Structure 1
Amino acid sequence: MSVYSIKDLEHLSGIKAHTLRIWEQRYGILNPERTDTNIRTYGDEELKLVLNIAILQSRGDFKISEIAKMSDSERSANLLRLSEGNLHFPDQIQALTISMLELNEAMFQQLTKNIIQKHGFEDYLIQIIHPFMLRLGTLWLSGSVGPAQEHFISHLIRQKVIAAIDQQDLSFKPTAKKFLLYLPEGELHEIGLLFANYILRARKHQVIYLGQSLPFEELVLAYDIHQPDYILSVFTSQPNPDDMPDYLEKLVERIPNSKILLTGYQLLALGHEVPEKIHVLRSFQELIELANTN
């Protein structure tokens, strides 16, 4: 079980710590443990409860006194009912977080169905899943999410993106560019690359998708065969920071005639300097604009 401070609950839910303390005293909603120095700590159940409350209360449909009296099943049922209406994007991200923490596939599938029907698949990716994955990264680094929860939700999202790609029309527009997509050797975090695949195919570009953990020499081989206009990769955990400068120099040297597009935590968060020929994508909106103008 994960352990959270009251500040963690505030950060993840948006509800002020002061308000949580009042609710704890007035309604008995939370039952924290206390350390030897009398500091409140909370577990997974308290986090899920606070996320539920944040969604139910933000819509104004329920007072906190009413939410406090609900059972877990009643809160979940009300959350799903609200998701069929007009939940704002932050609330939908909160709801997906709850489905992950509960390992609740039925809830994930229903939420996803409601969101896609209302907003379409691309908005589902850009407005909800992408910020959700950023939150997941924060939760993972803080130890708030375990491997089972991360694997569970990543697998479900990956399935959704692959299914959407399979349904796309594979014809190209006359001005289509050729994009080669890959992940470096050892890199297994594929969802961001699948996002890019979907975005480019939706705009009728040609995509050669090479997927996870590609050895560098195989990348060069594919480049020699296809001579793509662009090479795109997402560096989430690989290459490691010590190897990054050499890897980037090799890319520039061995891939001389393609434009190189890179993104991912290893570049964005660690602040690596990159060779002039490499363009760092800082958002998926940049990729969308590039795809729309070509």
Structure 2
Amino acid sequence: MRRSTANCVLPMPVITEAEPITQADDCQGLYPIREVARLTGINPVTLRAWERRYGLIEPKRTESGHRLYSVTDIESIRLILGWLERGVAVSKVAQLLANTKPADNPQPEASEYGEWQSRISGALTAFNESELERLYGQIYSSYPVEVVFQGIFLPLWQQLSKVQDVFGRTSEWLMLDGFLRGRVQHRLQLQAADARQCVMVVAMPELCRELELLVAGLLLTRNDRVVRVLAIGQPLEELSLVCEKLEPEAVVLYASHALGTAHHRRLMRLAQTLDCSVSLAGAGSNVAQEALAGSSIGCLGSEALLMNQRLDADLKATLGS
């Protein structure tokens, strides 16, 4: 899908693999703009424009006026880049970042994420699946499921997908992708079949990959809810037939990229044909909030806690309980 440039006159930055951030003693945990450009792949001209024109980042200044960036600034830059890759105009990113701040729950530090990702990368480089399995078990037993995937595995998966022109990286990405899809599918199969609620999770055509869809389904699972994730390629026009058989309380459409006009039209038509709650989840839903305001379609967001809270509210309103 082509990215709109109506609101963005800046050239798209070159994407590089995210590197672990290590603090330098001589700058007390702050980084000059040239180092930030190296770590993120975003050139200094673009970084300055994001600050001056859009207020996306606010680096500190030395007495002589030189910019210094914190670890938090660097993580924000990577989040901004993620939104741009999903087709969002840079002029809209500030509001999206403000609307999608994670809940105030204890989270591992960025350095802790990086340490796990570095160890996973080592296992992938060696094509050592037993070590990958061991690390996965350690991580899964140490953190909530949303941290396992949204904090550690998926960011690394996304990084590898961007550098597949580097020799060997395609094979590493395929190994990680296949490994994670298998583990998530296994978790989904362990759901209680007699759960009170049934929720169907379906991909918006061409707007997400299978792993993203499966993880979304896993993040929505609960003891009182069984989640059925339909295969990538499920025709939206046939969802009414599937719903007739499965009788879900809710259908959640998932999109990790921004919806185009045609997608919005299809979504609106779909909601009119289904006799249940219809919602949109994923990064694409954050972008679509304004366009869907006033419709019957709920926007669940992309953070696990927020998705579940909003889905609960939609179900409560729909079921009248």
Residue 184, structure 1, aligned to residue 204, structure 2:
yes
1:17 CA drift (Å): 8.0
8 Å CA contact 2:237–2:270 kept in 1: the answer is no
Alignment-derived partner of residue 243 in structure 1: 262
Alignment-derived partner of residue 76 in structure 2: none
Instruction: Give distance in 2, aligned partners of 1:186 and 1:196.
Output: 16
1:187 CA drift (Å): 5.7
Alignment-derived partner of residue 12 in structure 1: 19
Instruction: Identify which range, 212-221 or 197-206, moves more after superposition.
Output: 197-206
Alignment-derived partner of residue 23 in structure 1: none
Against the structure 1 CA distance between its residues 224 and 271, is the aligned structure 2 distance closer, same or farther, given a 3 Å change threshold? same
Alignment-derived partner of residue 131 in structure 2: 107
Residue 195, structure 1, aligned to residue 215, structure 2:
yes
Alignment-derived partner of residue 46 in structure 1: none
User: How many equivalent pairs are there?
Assistant: 211
Q: Share of identical aligned residues, percent?
A: 14
Instruction: Give distance in 2, aligned partners of 1:223 and 1:168.
Output: 19
8 Å CA contact 1:231–1:258 kept in 2: the answer is yes
8 Å CA contact 2:203–2:233 kept in 1: the answer is yes
Amino acid of the structure 2 residue aligned with 1:251: L
Instruction: Give distance in 2, aligned partners of 1:235 and 1:210.
Output: 14
1:14 CA drift (Å): 1.0
Alignment-derived partner of residue 157 in structure 2: 136
Amino acid of the structure 1 residue aligned with 2:132: F
Instruction: Give distance in 2, aligned partners of 1:177 and 1:94.
Output: 39
Alignment-derived partner of residue 259 in structure 1: 277
Instruction: Give distance in 2, aligned partners of 1:18 and 1:213.
Output: 51
SS of residue matched to 1:182 = strand
Question: Please, what is the CA RMSD of the aligned residues?
Answer: 3.5
1:232 CA drift (Å): 0.9
8 Å CA contact 1:180–1:209 kept in 2: the answer is yes
Against the structure 1 CA distance between its residues 130 and 235, is the aligned structure 2 distance closer, same or farther, given a 3 Å change threshold? same
Counterparts of 1:111-190 in structure 2, within 5 Å, are: 111-119=135-143, 123=144, 125-131=145-151, 132-141=153-162, 146-172=169-195, 176-186=196-206, 189-190=209-210
Instruction: Give distance in 1, aligned partners of 2:290 and 2:188.
Output: 32
8 Å CA contact 1:179–1:229 kept in 2: the answer is yes
Instruction: Give distance in 1, aligned partners of 2:238 and 2:154.
Output: 29
Measured against aligned partners, the alpha-carbon deviations of 1:21-46 in whole angstroms (never above 9, x if no partner) come to xxxxxxxxxxxxxxxxxxxxxxxxxx
Amino acid of the structure 1 residue aligned with 2:291: E
Measured against aligned partners, the alpha-carbon deviations of 1:149-207 in whole angstroms (never above 9, x if no partner) come to 322211101111122222333232xxx32212222344662223323433444322133
8 Å CA contact 1:179–1:207 kept in 2: the answer is yes
Instruction: Give distance in 1, aligned partners of 2:299 and 2:155.
Output: 17
Instruction: Give distance in 2, aligned partners of 1:102 and 1:280.
Output: 41
1:230 CA drift (Å): 1.0
Alignment-derived partner of residue 59 in structure 1: none
Instruction: Give distance in 1, aligned partners of 2:282 and 2:165.
Output: 21
8 Å CA contact 1:181–1:211 kept in 2: the answer is no
Of 88, 93, 96, the residue aligned with 2:117 is: 93
SS of residue matched to 2:291 = coil
Instruction: Give distance in 2, aligned partners of 1:249 and 1:164.
Output: 32
Instruction: Give distance in 2, aligned partners of 1:139 and 1:253.
Output: 39
Instruction: Give distance in 2, aligned partners of 1:194 and 1:261.
Output: 16
